[in-house]
Amino acid sequence: MDIRRRTSLTALTSIPAGLALALTGVVPAQADDTAYVALGDSFSAGTGTRNSTDDCYRSPYGYPALIAGAQGLTLDYQACSGATTADVLANQVGSLGPDTGLVTMTIGGNDLGFADVITECAQPGWLSDCAGAIAGGRAILQNELPGRYDAVLGAIAAAAPAADVRIGGYPHLFNGEDCNAATFFSPEEMADLNAATDELDALVEQKTLGAGYTFVDPRDAFDGHAVCDDVEWVNGLSWPIVESFHPNRDGNIGYADEFWPGSGSAAAATVPADRTAQGVEASVRQEADAVLAMDLASPANLRAAQAAGISPDRITGLVEQLRSADTDVVAGALAELSALDEQHDQRVVAYRG
């Protein structure tokens, strides 16, 4: 393993090493090449692989576990679904030490409200404020996250001075097509979400390189493998809901290869295929339940529909159809809701143009 050695003796380069140690009393940290600590959020915990092991998820098919298995490392799996930079500082960096050889991490998405933004943007256009949700995340990204990242990277440097530290960015989740019947992303919304990801990755790269660490960019590897691509490395709307919009097992293999080239490919044979997909009828029922949870027929939401030029009576009728015992009726209602949303988005684009 290529372990980066960090030392406070750079000002003493002209003094023989033995004399420098005698003068300062500083002993360079000695890392254990096999000691690996995985920090971070759900993208590092393996959420999306449909194999949660605890409240933090920590899947055996998450990229840290794949790297550890392929390279013979001892993994201290600290990454936790839902973690923010504050959680890393409070609950995770304490596992680092002078002997830590490798640290990997993805962090920052939850600071920007990743789950809330996706949930907002997934609603029909006449109900959601996707642009406002993204703007709120961008405000945190620009004004607060830089300082939070400095604090996390500083804590890692202090706790694991000899570690090889590799910080990952996030992939684009969308390709411009929404093929899920229970989500209502417009092409413009998906492009804006990807652009926000680029801005987050740019900050992560800047802070990571500035700290002297390695930035891992997954975007090229995930290109062509977004939600609704022929070979998805990212789940679309899934059940349980927590699995949604996260890298699946193939995506974690791809992530592992980016963090440590060849690790994911080497571990791929140990990752069983995900066989939890639902049948067509069960899937339609789950999609209907997801849309029903949006409460489209509430008084406030019906007023929003009317303000957008959509008949409240039509919405009420479609909601009733979603509760039908006939799967074909349910599927038809989902399709019509998607068509109404597309028509609404087209009117908005035409109005702005």
Report yes or no: 143 and 193 within 8 Å, Cβ to Cβ: no
Residue with token string 């949006």: 294
Annotated catalytic residue within 44, 172, 244, 246: 246
Residues facing 174 on adjacent strands? 227
| Interatomic CA distance for residues 170 and 67, integer angstroms | 18
Q: How many residues does the chain have?
A: 353
Q: Which amino acid is at 93?
A: V
Active-site residue 246, yes or no?
Answer: yes
CA distances from 91 to 59, 77, 78, 157 (A): 19, 12, 8, 16
CA distance 226 to 178: 11
Q: What would the 3-class secondary structure string for 199-268 be?
A: HHHHHHHHHHHHCCCEEECCHHHHCCCCECCCCCCECCCCCCHHHCCCECHHHHHHHHHHHCCCHHHHHH
Q: Please pick, among 42, 81, 238, 263, the residue that the annotation labels catalytic.
A: 42
Largest CA distance in the chain: 85
Smallest CA-to-CA distance from 333 within 347, 316, 348, 345 is with: 316
Which amino acid does the sequence have at 26?
V
Neighbouring residues of 173: CB distance < 8 A, sequence distance ≥ 6: 190, 193, 194, 197, 226, 227, 234, 245
Q: Does the annotation count 42 as an active-site position?
A: yes
Under a CB-based contact definition with an 8 Å cutoff, are residues 247 and 171 in contact? yes
DSSP 85-129: HHHIIIIIGGG--TT--EEEEE-STGGGTHHHHHHHHTS-TTT--
Catalytic residue positions?
A: 42, 246
